[in-house]
């Protein structure tokens, strides 16, 4: 009985995580492609993220502040191909990995995190200790 409940909870988490990642990827796409005309940053003085944060927060509440929208934009810029996003990893994993400088390094950490089942603390520790360079 406990296995059934545990398995169902795990599937529910994975499903909601996949939906969240998809939503954030699509928002990042809209920010970069539509609001910023494909540029990594908006034109000086345009305040795209600030204005968007106000609109989304009014409409949907917490979770869409300017800081999180910067994370969402960085996520899209780091993973512009939606198919490269692995649903086994959480939004927190992707926030951490998106900060890495090169695509190769990001992809390697995604692969290791998925295959080894790293939680976000392990991921952070391994990035800080340059795990990829030591393997």
- pLDDT tens column, 84-110: 899 999 999 999 999 999 999 999 999
**Are residues 124 and 60 part of one domain?**
no
Distance CA 79, CA 73 (A): 10
**Are residues 71 and 26 part of one domain?**
yes
Residue 45 has pLDDT above 60, yes or no: no
pLDDT band for position 36 (cuts 50, 70, 90): low
**Are residues 40 and 22 part of one domain?**
yes
Q: Which two structure tokens, joined as six digits, stand for 121?
A: 């603390």
**Are residues 10 and 24 part of one domain?**
yes
**Are residues 97 and 119 part of one domain?**
yes
Distance CA 60, CA 71 (A): 18
Mean pLDDT, the chain, whole residue set: 90
**Are residues 106 and 51 part of one domain?**
no
Domain that holds residue 122: 88-135
**Are residues 51 and 7 part of one domain?**
yes
**Are residues 69 and 92 part of one domain?**
no
- What would the pLDDT profile of 65-83 be if each residue is shown by its tens digit? 999 999 999 999 999 999 9
Instruction: Find the mean pLDDT for residues 31-60.
Output: 80
Q: Which two structure tokens, joined as six digits, stand for 11?
A: 């599937």
């Amino acid at each position: 009985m406990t296995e059934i409940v545990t398995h169902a909870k795990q599937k529910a988490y994975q499903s909601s995580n996949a939906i969240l990642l998809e939503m954030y990827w699509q928002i990042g796409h809209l920010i970069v492609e539509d609001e910023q005309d494909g540029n990594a940053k908006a034109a000086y003085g345009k305040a795209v993220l600030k204005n968007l944060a106000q609109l989304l927060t009014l409409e949907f509440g917490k979770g869409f502040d300017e800081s999180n929208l910067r994370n969402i934009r960085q996520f899209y810029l780091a993973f512009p191909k939606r198919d490269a996003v692995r649903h086994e990893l959480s939004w927190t994993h992707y926030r951490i990995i998106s900060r890495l400088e090169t695509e190769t390094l990001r992809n390697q950490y995604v692969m290791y995190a998925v295959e080894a089942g790293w939680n976000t603390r392990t991921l952070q520790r391994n990035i800080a200790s340059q795990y990829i360079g030591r393997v």
